[in-house]
Amino acid sequence: MVRTDTPDRQQLIDLLHVFVRVTNGHDAQSLGLCIADQYRQHNPYAAQDLSGVIDYFVMMFTAFPDMHAELLDVMVDGDVISARCRVRGTHQADFLGFAATGRQFEIITVDYFRYRDGLFVEHWDVISVLELLVQLGVSPHESQQFLSTAKLNPSEEEEK
């Protein structure tokens, strides 16, 4: 990746707050305010590009109409920012083929974003889909079976 200059710390923090405001507002169509069209995803279950992020959040907001992320901690290192969040939601519609259970999940996640020219262009995370499925009451067997078939980025290592 070619970097023209090192961004100002506050630019990254401000953009993260845009991302949190847009996602907590369930306004998936506004994600282009903070995510680049050619967004590179390193999570093996995440689709590439802005369109993939929009599709993901539309799916999450449908399945979990009360989904909310609480920003716990932010760190900045050059052109990369990390966000530690507590994410909660209630399962009220189909999620990855699993019918609504009415159960709540609460997970802690970490996202790293790389910043360039006013947008986030690259993303890594620590998030456990397995944790989420188990909290929703999906059986361990079904959860593992799902994860074994759901990879979108086969080149990335599976986050179990």
Partner 1 sequence: MTALRDTATRLSDQFLAALNQNDVAGMSQIVAPGYVQHNPEVPGGREGLLSWMASMHIAFPDFMVERLDMIVDADRLVVRHRVSGTHLGEFLGWPGSGRSFVMHTAEFFRIADGVLQEHWDVWSPQGMLVQLGLPVEGGLFTTFG
Interface residues with partner 1 (CB under 8 A) are 73, 75-77, 80, 82, 84, 86, 106-110, 112, 124, 126, 128, 130-131, 134-135, 140, 143-144, 157-160
The distance of closest approach from Cβ of residue 134 to partner 1 in the complex, given in angstroms and rounded to an integer, is 4
Report in angstroms how near the CB of residue 40 gets to partner 1 at its nearest: 14
Nearer to partner 1, 118 or 140 (CB): 140
The dihedral of CA 38, 44, 46, 51: what is its sign? positive
Smallest separation (angstroms) from partner 1 to the CB of 29: 29
| Residue 148 buriedness (CB in 10 A; 0-12 / 13-18 / 19+) | exposed
Closest approach, Cβ 159 to partner 1, in A, equals 5
Which C-beta is closer to partner 1: that of 31 or that of 133?
133
The residue (of 55 and 131) whose beta carbon lies closer to partner 1 is 131
The Cα–Cα gap between 105 and 91 comes to 8
DSSP 8-state class, residue 46: S
Nearer to partner 1, 73 or 117 (CB): 73
* Long-range contact pairs involving 3-11 (C-beta distance under 8 Å, separation at least 24): 3/79, 3/116, 4/117, 6/78, 6/79, 7/79, 7/115, 7/116, 9/76, 11/115, 11/118
